[in-house]
Amino acid sequence: MFIIPMKKQILALIFITILNCVLFAQKSEVSVSINPNIGVTFANHGEYIYSPSGKKLYSYLEYQVEPLFTAGLLVNSSFGPAQLSFGADMAFPGRCGTMYDSDWNLLGVKTTYTIHENNAQKNYDFFMDLGWTFRLGRQNQLGITPKMGILYCYDSFFAQNGYGWYGGMDYSKNGEDNPWDSEYARKAKKCYPVELERKTFYTFIGFDFSATIRSKFTIIAGSFIAPYAEISSTDHHHSKPGSGNDFYINEEQACAFLRFKEILNISYALTSNLNINLSGTWIFGPISKGLLYDFDELTTQLSGSDVNEIFIKLGADFRF
């Protein structure tokens, strides 16, 4: 597969860029800051199963995150105009919203609809950005920074305490396929849990623009696109304990220029070495289709995923 070689090429390019920044730093002013932060995340993680042609939707699971509380650390460094930043965020486990599970039959009739409590288990991310700032204005109060970066996200959710409506022929009152909201559908007061584990690797390129106002306020806005993104997921549907009827599906998607990132950062300088900042990041993208595995066996059906995440952080920037 092309996924692993692509990762190696990206990481090699980043290593060479960092090395150039370090060599450039020998002739430039070096600045380092550490930014501990807390935040909240709002998100929708979509999981799809399609027919082999990709035209018919068979299943859709929507994991809502409303909200997820996080803590993180960001390190910013500059070597003259060269910029290097990296960091990590980790979420606190616990109840974080609702998961909705829908299934359709071959005729496109939605026969099943269940609702579960969504719980975060392990959720964290690592990121790194490289940029080069061009200063503008009489006092260098404006800046434009071309950037490239990577982002790795790990998300796992456990949906439990579910209930729902089953209109499929195996569960309906008349033994036929019926819409989930018909009089022949059966309501289940208890549904077995569902787990999702998702790993996402992004590359981003783009620009951010900065403006400093009266030496105190700094506003940064940026737009980025992912030339390459890779998503792998494992879906675990639980069954009655001891029955041995649990089933797993594995999904893989890779896409180009279908993931986007927008950022906004507002910073206020309390002293020359301490800033308070509020930042927001929006990552989003349409459905990307890929492979579907039943356990480890490749099927003819297609899988899909999309993303819509908003990260809001409040931090303090300590400069050295």
Q: How far is CA 37 from CA 69, 88, 94, 151, 212, in A?
A: 11, 10, 20, 18, 22
Work out the pLDDT band at 242, boundaries 50, 70, 90: confident
Q: Kindly state whether residue 143 falls inside one of the protein's structural domains.
A: yes
Q: How many domains does the chain have?
A: 1
Between CA 251 and CA 249 the distance in angstroms is 7
Is pLDDT at 2 greater than 50 in this prediction?
no
Q: Where are the beta strands (DSSP E) in the chain?
A: 30-50, 57-79, 82-91, 94-104, 110-132, 134-136, 142-166, 186-191, 194-213, 217-237, 247-255, 260-271, 274-294, 297-319
Q: Kindly state whether residue 320 falls inside one of the protein's structural domains.
A: no
Which CATH number characterizes residue 50's domain?
Answer: 2.40.128.90
Structure tokens at 104: 């359709």
Q: Within 10 A of 60 (CB to CB), how many other CB atoms are there?
A: 18
Domain that holds residue 162: 3-312
- Mean pLDDT calculated for residue range 66-71: 95
Q: Kindly state whether residue 49 falls inside one of the protein's structural domains.
A: yes
Work out the pLDDT band at 278, boundaries 50, 70, 90: very high
Is pLDDT at 1 greater than 50 in this prediction?
no
Structure tokens at 283: 């990552």
Pick the range with the lowest mean pLDDT from 1-5, 21-25, 124-128, 274-278: 1-5
Asked if residues 38 and 134 have their Cβ atoms less than 8 Å apart, the reply is: no
Q: Kindly state whether residue 38 falls inside one of the protein's structural domains.
A: yes
Dihedral angle sign, alpha carbons of residues 50, 53, 55, 56 = negative
Q: Kindly state whether residue 152 falls inside one of the protein's structural domains.
A: yes
Q: Kindly state whether residue 46 falls inside one of the protein's structural domains.
A: yes
- Mean pLDDT calculated for residue range 204-221: 94
The overall average pLDDT reported for the chain is 92
Q: Kindly state whether residue 318 falls inside one of the protein's structural domains.
A: no
Structure tokens at 79: 């070597």
Output the furthest CA–CA distance in the chain (Å, rounded): 80
Work out the pLDDT band at 13, boundaries 50, 70, 90: low
Q: Kindly state whether residue 319 falls inside one of the protein's structural domains.
A: no
Pick the range with the lowest mean pLDDT from 22-26, 38-42, 174-178: 22-26
Work out the pLDDT band at 6, boundaries 50, 70, 90: low
Is pLDDT at 241 greater than 60 in this prediction?
yes
Q: What is the pTM of this model?
A: 0.90
